[in-house]
Chain A
Amino acid sequence: MSAHIDVTNLNVFYGKQQALTNVSISIPRQQITVIMGPSGCGKTTLLKSFNRFLELTDGTTITGAVHVDGQNIYAGDVDVTAVRKRVGLLAQRPTPLPMSIYDNVCYGMSIHQMRTSKADYTAAVQHYLELAGLWDEVKTRLHEPATSLSIGQQQRLCLARGLAVEPEVILGDEPTSALDPISSQHIEKRMLELKSQYTTVIVTHTLRQAKRLADYVIFMYMGEVVEAGVAREVFSNPQQERTRQYLEGVF
């Protein structure tokens, strides 16, 4: 297994409150890694350390290193926008930008100036909407506002928008928790299809979703990594008592 993201000795504080303690973990390339654990255990904090989203909150202190493909994204000379282009984020609730469906997909591409002609953009829009499994539903209404889509469609649009800037890593912060079961299935299906091309890291607190998606599992408790390993092994034979309790639904 080759690691795509390497976390070494990561400590995160919100003010004086410690959210992550000495986290060291490796995330395998082109697989789905699921971070799980009870509420407030630091799952989302760990996830958001991968695209440098933590620093958007005032009073956050971060020590340690996160290497993506060997580059420490917390090094002084690293451009944060480049990090976020490489490491995309699918948020908990769908957040279509207040513009058309077409412009939503174009947004990142035009910011990073990734295409030159209108035709290139249009072709790319189709490509990424197809990747996200949304094309057939929206191909006749590309110039309608993105907010006119259903919630489930909006989340797939956000996926297309994220994929359009050609990231290596996709982060998902409970990306199906605001969706109905059918829409959730849609998203899960996409993630499974895309995992051969992207390294995917998902936070979830539904154990069943974790079991459906995960190749690799990280179990966290109170800001620390309790156990991490290949999903099949962790689910069938947890090494730690806490993991076993969590899997059995004790807490």
Chain B
Amino acid sequence: MAQNPIQSTATTRNQRVVVASRRRTDTWARRVFFVITVLPIGLIAVVLIGLLYRSWPILSRYPLVDLLFGVDWKPSEGRFGFYSFIVGTVWVTVVGVGLAIPPCILVAIYLAEYAGARIRLLAKPILDVLAAIPPVVYGVWGLLSVVPLVETVLGPWSQQLLGFWGLFAVQQPTGFSVLAGGIVLAVMITPLIIAVIFEIFNTVPVDLRNASLAIGATRWETIQRVLLPQVMPGIIAAIVLGASRAFGETIAVLMVVGNIAQVPHSLFDAAYPLPALIANNYGEMMSIPLYDAALLCAALILLVIILLFNIFATVVLKRFVK
């Protein structure tokens, strides 16, 4: 090489070409990935703008406060108050997530930290199947089992034991209620939350567990003092994921929640969440003026609630990680 300067120069020039071409490919790869990444963000913007445009007739006609905090829902009389639907959505979601969290955390801890390989092997596919059951099947189950359970067992119990407390009083003893919706939701989001929390526990290095066990700590002490502080942000993220899913769940909830446009005051009151409102009515009675705009406004409100919730959760998570 040294004794042949001509070839050496040629090689250098050739290498320069190769480097330039490699760099070009890299630049293009980066651009393609960028576009694909930005696409979903753009999609949210498009959906938001589209909904805003379609619900503009109603948004421009009534003050926002009246729409968000009005309790009257009489479309044929031109009265559109979304408050009961918003509250109904929040209630059902909070009850569902609230019921789901404690068992989910316990099951995930058991599977990740205590269970032997055999139980783990058995539990994983069962959870996957649970996650794959279509919502309408959960809805039918809710209709046939949960609603009667609430009507004949939980309701009377609650009335007897805690009836003095509004939250647990039974005014509408049909079984179609926030509680029935919450129970169905809880069962639906459980497999998802368990799977995520389980994976988060698995991300903690084995060495860390062993360090604690080597000192003579029990499994539970190790979980409590070493693992839980480590995985807490992940658990919160898992709950947020479950809640986001719960907010939007439509058909299963709609089948058991009663669908009465009222602000629920008790777990046993019927409610009417936003997704149910949209699913039940869109495409019908469209001759009523502004009805179309009102339903799309409901969709807009739902989307904004979910976005705000996710932003809030992200901020909380950031705080926590610090």
- A residues touching B (Cβ–Cβ < 8 Å)? 51, 53, 56, 58-59, 81-85, 88-89, 91, 93, 95-99, 107-108, 111-112, 158, 161-162, 165
For residue B213, give the distance in angstroms from its CB to the closest CB of chain A: 7
- Measured between beta carbons, the chain A residues less than 8 angstroms from B221 are 111
- Measured between beta carbons, the chain A residues less than 8 angstroms from B207 are 91, 93, 95
B216/A108 in contact, CB under 8 A: yes
CA distance A158 to B221 in the complex (A): 18
By DSSP majority rule, is chain B's interface helix, strand, loop, or mixed? helix
A108/B210 in contact, CB under 8 A: no
Chain B, Cβ-Cβ closest to A97: B226
- Contact check: which of B116, B205, B211, B229 meets A58 at CB < 8 Å? B116
A-B interface, 9 closest residue pairs, ranked by CB to CB distance from nearest: A85-B216, A95-B211, A108-B215, A84-B216, A89-B214, A81-B216, A95-B207, A58-B117, A111-B217
In the complex, which range does the number of interface residues on chain B fall in? 10 to 19
For residue A182, give the distance in angstroms from its CB to the closest CB of chain B: 23
- Measured between beta carbons, the chain B residues less than 8 angstroms from A88 are 214-215
A-B contact count (CB 8 A): 64
B216/A111 in contact, CB under 8 A: yes
Q: What are 27 contact pairs spanning A and B, CB under 8 A?
A: A51-B214, A53-B214, A56-B213, A58-B116, A59-B117, A81-B216, A84-B214, A88-B214, A88-B215, A89-B210, A93-B207, A95-B207, A95-B211, A97-B208, A98-B226, A98-B230, A107-B212, A107-B217, A108-B215, A111-B215, A111-B217, A111-B221, A112-B216, A161-B215, A162-B214, A165-B215, A165-B216
For residue A174, give the distance in angstroms from its CB to the closest CB of chain B: 13
Chain B, Cβ-Cβ closest to A96: B211
Chain B, Cβ-Cβ closest to A81: B216
For residue B238, give the distance in angstroms from its CB to the closest CB of chain A: 19
- B residues touching A (Cβ–Cβ < 8 Å)? 116-117, 205, 207-208, 210-218, 221, 225-226, 229-230
- Measured between beta carbons, the chain B residues less than 8 angstroms from A84 are 213-216
A95/B213 in contact, CB under 8 A: no
**Which among A53, A111, A158 has the highest number of chain B CB atoms within 10 Å?**
A111
CA distance A84 to B211 in the complex (A): 11
CA distance A59 to B215 in the complex (A): 23
B230/A85 in contact, CB under 8 A: no
- Measured between beta carbons, the chain A residues less than 8 angstroms from B205 are 95
For residue A205, give the distance in angstroms from its CB to the closest CB of chain B: 20
- Measured between beta carbons, the chain B residues less than 8 angstroms from A165 are 215-216
For residue A176, give the distance in angstroms from its CB to the closest CB of chain B: 16
- Measured between beta carbons, the chain B residues less than 8 angstroms from A162 are 214-215
> 15 new A-B pairs (CB below 8 Å) besides A98-B208, A107-B215?
A89-B214, A91-B211, A91-B214, A95-B205, A95-B210, A97-B212, A97-B226, A107-B212, A107-B217, A108-B216, A111-B217, A111-B225, A158-B211, A161-B215, A165-B216
